[in-house]
């Protein structure tokens, strides 16, 4: 019998098309479009050589690896983030871990800009007027946000997604600042002319701060009360990375006190359990973690995840492995 494969969630598109007839004989796919209970996941992974998992299945740790047993060769993440996988333990057990980076870049950058535009133009308040049918027509006193053209955008984390966000800024003739471990010549040259700065420099100068960092020990709560206090009162904070890079309680306090003007969030610290205080803030534009959720890109993610899975089972290098 062929190596056992477990796919924890029914993936968009047709995941089975990437498997041979023999490989399909020993595949278990969650029949429901719902995150598995932990006990069910632990039961299903027994004897598996390869797993395809989502962030909702986390933590993927020693408990999962032990339940799977010595046959487990690869964990293929249906995501670009892998903070829910115990990488140290996976490496100790020689389990390869794959991610889906390219498919997530452009759609997530689009959502970051949706949040920049929406939070800047006070979309919550405008939508509420229409939903509640209280709009009585255009009036000179209407003021919904500020101009975007010529303002300063600070991109925190300038990998694939951060760079894609920066590229889109050219349409608004923005002054670009970025934080990265190394220089990014591709966005420093015309027409972007981006400037690499420190976190403090960028926070103090920016009108818009967009976060694009992986979540790890170094980046957990990288934006806290002290960092929020560095920002302009007119500034807008955007997060399409991982919820844990922001101290959510500190953000709530800053938004409530209007020490920053607004925030746009697609990710949350304890999602899907969102702090109820966030819903009470009219200056917080919220989306349900839809950064990668386009038809085309979710299907592309399926293809990448399956390619990683099959390579790992065969003992080959993963096409898209986690960073070294």
For residues 65-93, average pLDDT: 96
- Whole-number pLDDT of residue 143: 84
pLDDT band (50, 70, 90) for residue 169 = very high
For residues 5-28, average pLDDT: 92
Encode burial over 304-318: b for 16+ CB neighbours within 10 A, e otherwise: bbbbbbbbbbeeeeb
Question: Which of 262, 238, 231, 237 is closest to 145 using CA atoms?
Answer: 262
Domain with CATH 3.40.50.720 in the chain: 4-102+295-313, 105-286
Query: Which of 196, 212, 261, 289 is an active site residue?
Result: 289
| Annotation: CATH topology of 4-102+295-313 | Rossmann fold (3.40.50)
Residue 248 a catalytic site member: no
pLDDT of 46 above 60: yes
Query: Which of 188, 271, 277, 303 is an active site residue?
Result: 271
Give the rounded percent of residues in the chain with a pLDDT score beyond 90.
91
Residue 289 a catalytic site member: yes
Query: Which of 212, 242, 261, 298 is an active site residue?
Result: 242
What confidence tens digit (pLDDT) does each residue in 301-321 have? 999 999 999 999 999 999 999
pLDDT of 218 above 90: yes
- Whole-number pLDDT of residue 23: 82
Residue 242 a catalytic site member: yes
* CATH class in words for 105-286: alpha beta
Question: Which of 15, 23, 69, 24 is closest to 42 using CA atoms?
Answer: 69
pLDDT band (50, 70, 90) for residue 263 = very high
Length of the chain: 324
Torsion of CA 201, 218, 157, 240, to 10 degrees: -110
For residues 101-116, average pLDDT: 96
pLDDT of 135 above 90: no
């Amino acid at each position: 019998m062929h190596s056992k494969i477990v796919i924890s969630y029914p993936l968009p598109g047709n995941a089975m098309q990437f498997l041979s007839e023999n490989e399909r004989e020993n595949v278990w796919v969650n029949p429901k479009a719902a995150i598995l209970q932990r006990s069910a996941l632990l039961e299903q992974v027994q004897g598996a050589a390869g797993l395809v998992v989502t962030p909702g299945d986390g933590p993927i740790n020693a408990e999962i690896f032990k339940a799977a047993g010595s046959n487990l060769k690869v964990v293929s993440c249906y995501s670009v983030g892998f903070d829910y996988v115990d990488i140290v333990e996976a490496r100790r057990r020689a389990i390869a871990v794959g991610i889906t980076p390219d498919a997530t870049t452009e759609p997530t950058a689009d959502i970051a800009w949706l949040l920049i535009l929406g939070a800047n133009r006070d979309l919550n308040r405008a939508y509420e007027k229409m939903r509640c049918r209280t709009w009585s027509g255009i009036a000179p006193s209407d003021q919904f946000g500020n101009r975007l053209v010529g303002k300063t955008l600070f991109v925190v984390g300038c990998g694939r997604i951060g760079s894609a966000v920066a590229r889109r800024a050219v349409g608004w003739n923005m002054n670009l600042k970025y934080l990265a471990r190394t220089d990014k010549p591709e966005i420093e040259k015309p027409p972007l002319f981006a400037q690499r700065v420190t976190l403090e420099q960028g926070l103090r100068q920016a009108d818009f701060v967009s976060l694009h960092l992986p979540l790890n020990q170094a980046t957990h709560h990288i934006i806290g009360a002290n960092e929020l206090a560095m920002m302009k009162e007119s500034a807008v904070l955007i997060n399409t990375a991982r919820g844990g890079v922001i101290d959510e309680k500190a953000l709530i306090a800053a938004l409530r006190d209007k020490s920053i003007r607004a925030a746009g969030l697609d990710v949350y610290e304890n999602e899907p359990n969102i702090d109820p205080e966030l819903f009470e803030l009219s200056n917080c534009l919220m989306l349900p973690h839809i950064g990668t959720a386009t038809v085309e890109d979710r299907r592309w993610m399926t293809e990448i995840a399956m390619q990683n899975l099959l390579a790992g089972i065969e003992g080959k290098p993963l096409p898209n492995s986690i960073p070294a």
